[in-house]
Amino acid sequence: MSAQAAVTTGIRHMLESVARRWRDHRDAVASLREIDRMDPAMAGEIAAEAGLTVADLKEVISHGAGANRLMQRMMDAYGVDVRELAEDGLLRDVSVLCSRCQSRGRCAEELEAGTARENAHLFCPNAETFESFGLAAS
């Protein structure tokens, strides 16, 4: 790849990342507004389905823009069934940890490289949980 092509690819990657972050932010704001306009009982039911309180759901949405996609991809890498986490009451904890994670960049890089499962123990606060619920535990 020529130097010019590498620069062009780098710029395109950066612009796609900015656009993705903007969409995540826009979607989070829209979701928070929707929850605020919703009947409190309905908001409580929706949150409860995910094993969360309404306050926790709002926190996950506001701080976790994009984290839900990374969380799902990481669970897929481990072969984790989200229903099992919900049944065991762990989905809330996993979601909150992912939303607060400071290693989202590394997570995305490892997932893209296909090395997330091998290296998650180095950066992922949910690695131990995913390992115990993943295919390896079967």
pLDDT score for 138: 46
Calculate the average pLDDT of the chain. Answer: 86
Residues 6+ apart with CB under 8 A from 93: 129
Please name which of 130, 20, 31 lies closest in space to residue 69, comparing C-alpha atoms.
Answer: 20
Residue 123 three-state SS: coil
pLDDT, mean of residues 114-137: 90
Among the ranges given (3-12, 38-47, 67-76), the one the predictor scored with the smallest mean pLDDT: 3-12
Indicate if the pLDDT at residue 4 is higher than 90. no
- Identity of the amino acid at 127: A
**Percentage of the chain lying above the pLDDT 90 cut:** 39
Which tops the pLDDT comparison, 35 or 15? 35
**Percentage of the chain lying above the pLDDT 70 cut:** 96
Query: How do residues 55-109 score in pLDDT, each as one tens digit?
Result: 888 887 877 667 888 999 999 999 999 888 888 888 888 988 888 888 988 999 9
pLDDT score for 128: 95
pLDDT score for 44: 93
